[in-house]
C-alpha cells in the first residue's frame, strides 16, 4: 500500500517542475505508442498512471489558489494554466492514442473486466468529444478554444474574488445593527478612532447576516446592489465564453453546447431536460405564489429582492416560532464535525482518526478514514471564511483509490472546503443550521470519492460519474441533517452541553420546507437560464433578455434592473456546470428516493444504507449511475419523492 502524499506546493519552483513532468510524460507516451502489440496492461494502465502523476502535482496549486489566494498563487496558476491546457488538449486529440484505445477494446473485449471496459469506453468518448478523429485544422482550432476557455474561466473567478474582497460597508449607528445576532455583531465589530464600528462585507457569512437580520432597508439594498453588480467586466467574458463553447460544439458535430454537454450525462436529450425542469416549475408555481402572499402580508411596503431574506426570517419566527440565532449555540463547528463523523460511523461503519500534519492554514486539519480497522483514505477539512479564500463550499478530490501496474494499492484523499463564520479565541465558530446542511452535503461528495474500491483511477471515486448524477451522494447525505437521531449526536450547547431540546428539533423539521416552493423556483431559474443559454447562445443585451424572459415565470418579485446575477454565476462560467446546472434537481430525484428508503428501514439498522455504501459509494464511476441506481433500488427514480421532500403537492 502506497503512503499518502504530503501536501506540498513550492510556488517558486512549480512552473519548472510542471514543465519537467510534462516533458517526461510526453516522452513516456511516445514510448507507449511505439509498442506494436498494445494491451490494456502495457498501454492503458501506464498511460493512466502518467495522468494521475500530473494530477497529483497540479491539484495542490489549484487548491491553494482557492483557499490561500495571493498575487503569487494567481501568477503561478495563470502561468501554469495554458501549459496544462495545451498538454491535455494535445493528448485528447492524439489520433494514435484514440486508435489504440479502440483497438484494445476490440481485441480484449472478452478478457477485460467491467472497470477496464468502462475506462476504455469513456476514453474513446472523451477523445471523440475532443475532436481526435477530426482534421488537423479543426483540432488546432479546438486546441485554441480550450486554452482560451480555461483562461477566461480563471479570469471570471478571479474578478469575482477581487470584487468580493474590495467592498466593505462600515456602520457606526447602533440602531442599524439592532436585531442582529450577538455573534454576528461580534464578528463585525472593530475599534477605530476611539469609536466602535461594524464592518460588513460581501463574503457570504457577513452578507447573509445583514440581509437576514439587518433592520436598515437602505443598507440592505446597498449591500444587495454591491453583491449583484460585482465584476461587471465578467459580462465580456460571458460573451466570449458562450461564443467559444458554441463554436467548439459545432466543430464536434453537435447543434449546440447543450447537446455536447449531455453526451456525458444521464439525461438523454435536451427536450427531456427542459420537460423535467418545466414540470417542476408547473408543480411549484401555485404554492410559491401562496408563499409570497403570506410574506407580503407582514411587510409594510411592496417586497423587493433585498427584502425577502429579512421578512422571511420574521415570518419564520411568527409561523414556526423559530429563531436561527437560538440554534447557533447548539451548532458549534467542532461539535458538528465530530457528531457528523459519529453518524457516518453508525450508518456506514467509517472511523475517523485525526492526523497531525502541517497544512496550508493553521485552521485546516486532516483525518484518516478506516473501515473494519483498515485504512481507507484521507480527508482534509478547511471550514472557516477568510479573505484569501474564494466564497462558497466545495469538495475537491486529490488522490484516487486505484491499483497500479505493480499491484500496489493507492488510497484516496480529498478536500472539503467551506466558508463558515471564523472562530476567535473568545468567540467559537457557531453555525446556522443551513451551514450544517452544507457540511453534510460536501461530506457526501467526499465519501463518494474516499470510499471507492475501484482499481482503475479514471473511474474511481467521483471520476467517470455522469455530471447530472454527481450530486446524488451529496444531496442524499444532507437530508440527514434534519433527522432527530442525527441531530442529537452533535447538537449540544457549546457552553452548557445541553442537547438540542425535542421541541426545538421539531420546529426545525416543521420549518424545513418553509418557502420551499419559492426556493424551488429560484433553482429552476438558474437551471433554465443555464440550459437555454447553451441551447441558443446570446450576446450582450441578449443574455439579460433571456434571463428576464425566464424570470417572467420564475421570479415572483421582479429584480431591480441593475441586478447582473449572471456576472457572478461562477458555477457555469468558472466551474463545470455549463449546460449542467439542472443536475442539482436531476440528482435530487435520486437522492430523495434513496433517503426515504433508508429512513423507512431505520437509520441504525438500514439495509439500504449498507447496500448504498456497497453499490453507490464503492463503485464510483465504474458503472453508469443509471445501472447502479437500479441495482440499489430495483426501480427507476420517482420524481414524486422529490416533491414530497420539498413539501410540494404534485
pLDDT for the residue numbered 323: 83
Q: Look-up: residue for cell 475506462?
A: 119
pLDDT tens-digit series, residues 542-585? 999 999 999 999 999 999 999 999 999 999 999 889 999 999 99
616 lies in the same domain as 502 = yes
Is residue 3 one of the residues assigned to a domain?
no
Domain shared by 347 and 431, yes or no:
yes
Same domain, 199 and 345: no
Query: At residue 144, does pLDDT exceed 90?
Result: yes
Tell me the CB-side half-sphere exposure of residue 568, using CA atoms within 13 A: 21
Is the Cβ–Cβ distance between 429 and 330 less than 8 Å? Answer: no
Q: Which residues pair with 424 in a beta bridge?
A: 427
**What are the backbone dihedrals phi and psi of residue 195, each rounded to the nearest 5 degrees, phi first?**
-115, 150
DSSP 616: I
Last residue within a domain, chosen from 564, 581, 598:
581
CA angle 626, 627, 631 (to 5 degrees): 120
Given 291, 324, 351, 442, which residue is catalytic? Answer: 442
Distance of CA 1 to the CA centre of its chain: 30
> Residues 451, 571: one domain?
no
Tell me the chain's radius of gyration from C-alpha atoms. 25
User: Considering only CA atoms, which of 533, 526, 534, 541 is closest in space to residue 235?
Assistant: 541
For residue 30, what are the contacts with CB-CB under 8 A and spacing of at least 6? none
Place of cell 495522468: 51
Half-sphere exposure of 139 (CA within 13 A, CB side): 18
CB contact at 8 A, 534 and 261 = yes
Asked if 432 and 309 sit in the same domain, the reply is no
> What does the block give as the cell for 163?
470584487
Angstrom distance (rounded) from CA 450 to CA 472 = 15
608-636 burial, b at 16+ Cβ within 10 Å, e below that, comes to bbebbbebbbbbbbbbbbeebbeebbeee
CA distance 52 to 511: 45
Q: In the 8-state DSSP scheme, what is residue 458?
A: G
Q: Please check whether residue 149 lies inside any domain of the structure.
A: no
Model pLDDT, residue 73:
96
Kind of pairing between the strands at 412-420 and 394-397: antiparallel
The angle, 0 to 180 degrees and rounded to 10, between the axes of the packed helices 204-213 and 308-320 is 60
Integer Cα distance of 637 and 628 in angstroms: 12
Same domain, residue pair 399 and 543: no
User: How far does Cα 459 stand from its chain's mean position?
Assistant: 19
Based on the domain organization, do 480 and 375 belong to the same domain? yes
Separation of alpha carbons 444 and 174, rounded Å = 41
- Distance, CA of 426 to chain centre: 32
Rounded distance between C-alpha atoms, residue 358 and residue 362, angstroms: 8
Q: What angle do CA 157, 153, 387 make, to 5 degrees?
A: 15
Tell me the mean pLDDT in the region 378-388. 95
For residue 153, is it within any domain?
A: no
Q: Which grid coordinates belong to 231?
A: 465584476
What's the rounded mean pLDDT across residues 348-353? 97
pLDDT at 416 over 90: yes
Give me the mean pLDDT over the 110-116 stretch. 97
Q: Give me the sign of the Cα torsion angle 619, 625, 626, 630.
A: positive
Say yes or no to pLDDT of 57 above 90.
yes
Q: For residue 501, what is the domain's CATH number? A: 1.10.1370.40
**Does residue 238 share a domain with residue 291?**
yes
- % of the chain beyond a pLDDT of 90: 91
Instruction: Decide if pLDDT at 151 tops 70.
Output: yes
Are 627 and 500 in a shared domain?
yes
150 within a domain of the structure (yes/no): no
Q: What is the pLDDT of residue 636?
A: 85
pLDDT in tens, 216-236: 999 999 999 999 999 999 999
Q: pLDDT tens across 461-506, in order? A: 999 999 889 999 999 999 999 999 999 999 999 999 999 999 999 9
Distance spanning both ends of the chain, measured CA to CA: 51
Q: Which of 225, 73, 231 is nearest to 164 (CA)?
A: 231
Please indicate, yes or no, if residue 148 is contained in any of the structural domains: no
Q: What is the DSSP letter of 301?
A: S
Q: Does residue 500 contact residue 492 with C-beta atoms inside 8 Å?
A: yes
Give the C-alpha separation, 518 to 458, whole Å. Answer: 39
Q: Is there a single domain that holds both residue 179 and residue 248?
A: no
Assign residue 109 the CATH number of its domain.
1.20.1050.40
> Does the annotation count 442 as an active-site position?
yes
Q: What is the pLDDT of residues 152-199, one digit of tens each?
A: 999 999 999 999 999 999 999 999 999 999 989 999 999 999 999 999
pTM metric for this prediction: 0.84
Residue 424 is predicted with a pLDDT of 86
Q: Which of 645, 607, 612 is nearest to 631 (CA)?
A: 612
Is residue 129 domain-resident?
A: yes
User: What total number of domains does the chain contain?
Assistant: 4
Cell of residue 439, nine digits: 457540511
Residue 477 · residue 444 · CB < 8 Å: yes
Residues whose CB falls within 8 Å of the CB of residue 289, separated by 6 or more in sequence, listed in order? 556
- Asked if residue 613 belongs to a domain, the reply is yes
CA dist 155 and 81 (Å) reads 11
pLDDT for residue 393: 94
The cell numbers describing 131, all together, are 475532436
* pLDDT at position 650: 65
Last residue of a domain, one of 543, 563, 581: 581
Give, in degrees to the nearest 5, the angle at Cα 307 between 157 and 522. Answer: 55
- Convert the pLDDT of each residue in 1-27 to its tens digit: 788 999 999 999 999 999 999 999 999
* pLDDT, mean of residues 421-440: 93
CATH code of residue 255: 1.10.1370.10
DSSP state of 617: I
Alpha-carbon distance of 436 to 473, in angstroms, equals: 16
Q: Which domain holds residue 105?
A: 14-92+94-133
Q: Output phi, psi for 384, to 5 deg.
A: -105, 145
Check whether residue 480 and residue 569 sit in a common domain.
no
Q: Is residue 305 part of a domain?
A: yes
The verdict on 406 and 463 lying in the same domain is: yes
Amino acid at each position: 500500500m502506497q503512503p499518502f502524499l504530503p501536501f506540498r506546493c513550492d510556488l517558486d519552483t512549480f512552473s519548472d517542475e510542471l514543465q519537467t513532468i510534462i516533458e517526461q510524460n510526453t516522452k513516456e507516451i511516445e514510448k507507449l505508442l511505439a509498442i506494436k502489440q498494445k494491451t490494456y496492461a502495457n498501454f492503458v494502465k501506464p498511460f493512466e498512471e502518467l495522468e494521475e502523476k500530473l494530477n497529483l502535482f497540479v491539484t495542490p496549486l489549484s487548491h491553494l489558489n482557492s483557499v490561500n489566494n495571493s498575487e503569487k498563487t494567481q501568477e503561478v496558476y495563470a502561468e501554469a494554466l495554458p501549459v496544462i491546457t495545451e498538454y491535455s488538449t494535445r493528448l485528447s486529440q492524439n489520433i494514435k492514442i484514440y486508435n489504440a484505445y479502440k483497438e484494445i477494446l476490440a481485441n480484449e473485449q472478452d478478457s477485460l473486466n467491467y472497470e477496464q471496459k468502462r475506462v476504455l469506453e469513456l476514453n474513446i468518448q472523451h477523445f471523440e468529444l475532443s475532436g481526435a478523429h477530426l482534421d488537423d485544422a479543426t483540432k488546432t482550432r479546438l486546441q485554441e478554444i480550450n486554452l482560451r476557455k480555461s483562461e477566461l474561466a480563471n479570469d471570471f473567478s478571479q474578478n469575482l474574488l477581487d470584487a468580493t474582497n474590495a467592498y466593505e460597508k462600515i456602520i457606526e449607528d447602533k440602531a442599524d445593527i439592532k436585531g442582529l445576532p450577538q455573534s454576528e455583531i461580534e464578528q463585525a465589530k472593530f475599534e477605530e478612532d476611539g469609536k466602535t464600528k461594524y464592518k460588513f462585507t460581501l463574503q457570504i457569512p457577513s452578507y447573509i447576516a445583514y440581509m437576514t437580520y439587518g433592520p436598515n432597508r437602505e443598507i440592505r439594498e446597498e449591500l444587495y446592489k454591491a453583491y449583484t453588480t460585482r465584476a461587471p467586466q465578467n459580462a465580456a467574458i460571458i460573451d466570449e465564453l458562450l461564443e467559444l463553447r458554441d463554436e467548439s460544439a459545432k466543430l464536434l458535430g453537435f447543434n449546440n453546447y447543450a447537446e455536447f454537454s449531455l453526451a456525458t450525462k444521464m439525461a438523454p436529450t435536451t427536450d427531456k431536460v427542459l420537460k423535467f425542469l418545466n414540470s417542476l416549475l408547473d408543480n411549484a408555481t401555485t404554492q410559491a405564489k401562496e408563499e409570497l402572499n403570506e410574506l407580503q402580508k407582514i411587510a409594510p411596503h411592496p417586497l423587493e429582492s433585498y427584502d425577502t431574506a429579512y421578512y422571511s426570517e420574521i415570518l419564520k419566527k411568527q409561523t414556526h416560532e423559530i429563531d436561527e440565532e437560538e440554534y447557533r449555540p447548539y451548532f458549534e463547528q467542532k461539535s458538528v464535525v465530530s457528531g457528523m463523523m459519529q453518524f457516518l460511523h453508525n450508518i456506514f461503519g467509517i472511523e475517523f482518526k485525526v492526523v497531525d500534519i502541517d497544512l496550508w492554514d493553521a485552521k485546516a486539519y486532516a483525518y484518516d478514514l478506516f473501515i473494519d480497522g483498515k485504512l481507507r483514505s484521507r480527508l482534509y477539512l478547511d471550514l472557516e471564511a477568510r479573505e484569501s479564500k474564494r466564497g462558497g463550499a466545495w469538495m475537491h478530490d486529490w488522490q484516487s483509490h486505484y491499483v497500479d501496474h505493480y499491484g500496489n494499492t493507492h488510497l484516496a484523499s480529498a478536500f472539503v472546503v467551506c466558508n463558515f463564520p471564523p472562530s476567535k479565541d473568545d468567540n467559537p465558530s457557531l453555525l446556522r443550521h443551513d451551514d450544517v446542511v452544507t457540511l453534510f452535503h460536501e461530506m457526501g461528495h467526499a465519501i463518494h470519492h474516499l470510499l471507492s474500491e475501484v482499481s482503475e483511477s479514471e473511474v474511481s471515486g467521483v471520476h467517470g460519474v455522469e455530471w447530472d448524477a454527481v450530486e446524488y451522494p451529496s444531496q442524499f447525505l444532507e437530508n440527514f441533517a434534519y433527522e432527530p437521531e442525527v441531530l442529537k449526536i452533535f447538537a449540544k450547547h457549546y457552553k452548557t452541553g445541553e442537547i438540542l431540546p425535542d421541541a426545538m428539533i421539531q420546529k426545525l423539521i416543521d420549518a424545513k420546507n418553509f418557502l420551499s416552493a419559492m426556493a424551488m423556483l429560484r433553482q429552476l431559474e438558474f437551471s433554465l437560464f443555464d440550459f437555454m443559454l447553451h441551447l441558443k447562445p446570446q450576446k450582450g443585451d441578449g443574455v439579460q433578455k433571456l434571463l428576464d424572459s425566464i424570470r417572467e415565470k420564475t421570479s415572483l418579485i421582479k429584480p431591480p434592473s441593475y441586478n447582473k446575477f449572471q456576472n457572478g454565476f461562477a458555477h457555469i462560467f468558472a466551474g463545470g456546470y455549463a449546460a449542467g446546472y439542472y443536475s442539482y434537481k436531476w440528482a435530487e430525484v435520486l437522492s430523495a428516493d434513496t433517503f426515504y428508503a433508508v429512513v423507512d428501514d431505520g437509520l441504525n439498522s438500514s439495509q439500504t444504507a449498507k447496500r448504498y455504501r456497497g453499490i453507490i459509494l464503492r463503485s464510483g464511476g465504474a458503472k453508469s449511475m443509471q445501472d447502479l441506481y437500479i441495482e440499489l433500488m430495483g426501480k427507476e427514480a420517482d420524481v414524486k419523492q422529490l416533491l414530497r421532500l420539498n413539501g410540494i403537492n404534485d
